[in-house]
Amino acid sequence: MFGVSRVKIDPQLTGFEGTPQARLTLEQQVSKDVTVTFVTNLNKTQQQIVRVEWDLNRNWSAVAVRDENGIFGLVLLYKRRFK
């Protein structure tokens, strides 16, 4: 419908006053190995997070993130499943 794989709205109560806020998350699987996630605070649109995850193989992923402060980061994740 929107051209995205997943749409999610998270209501939150924050701060000492319990101010209601909501975050909108849009996720799109660009290819079988790459997923892009965009998160924005609906009350403060300048607070946006962009996350790109690239599955290198079954166990390893590279995740690049730009947080709401504009800081970029890159993380390598190792996933292990125990049965």
In a domain, 69, yes or no: yes
In a domain, 74, yes or no: yes
In a domain, 64, yes or no: yes
In a domain, 1, yes or no: no
Cβ atoms of residues 37 and 25 within 8 Å: yes
Residue 1: the pLDDT is 47
pTM: 0.74
In a domain, 66, yes or no: yes
Question: Does 19 score more than 70 pLDDT?
Answer: no
Q: Write down the mean pLDDT value for the chain.
A: 84
Question: Does 33 score more than 90 pLDDT?
Answer: yes
Residue 54: give the domain boundaries: 6-78
In a domain, 18, yes or no: yes
In a domain, 59, yes or no: yes
Residue 9: the pLDDT is 81
In a domain, 15, yes or no: yes
3-state DSSP assignment of residue 72: strand
Structural domains of the chain, count: 1
- Span 55-67, average pLDDT: 94
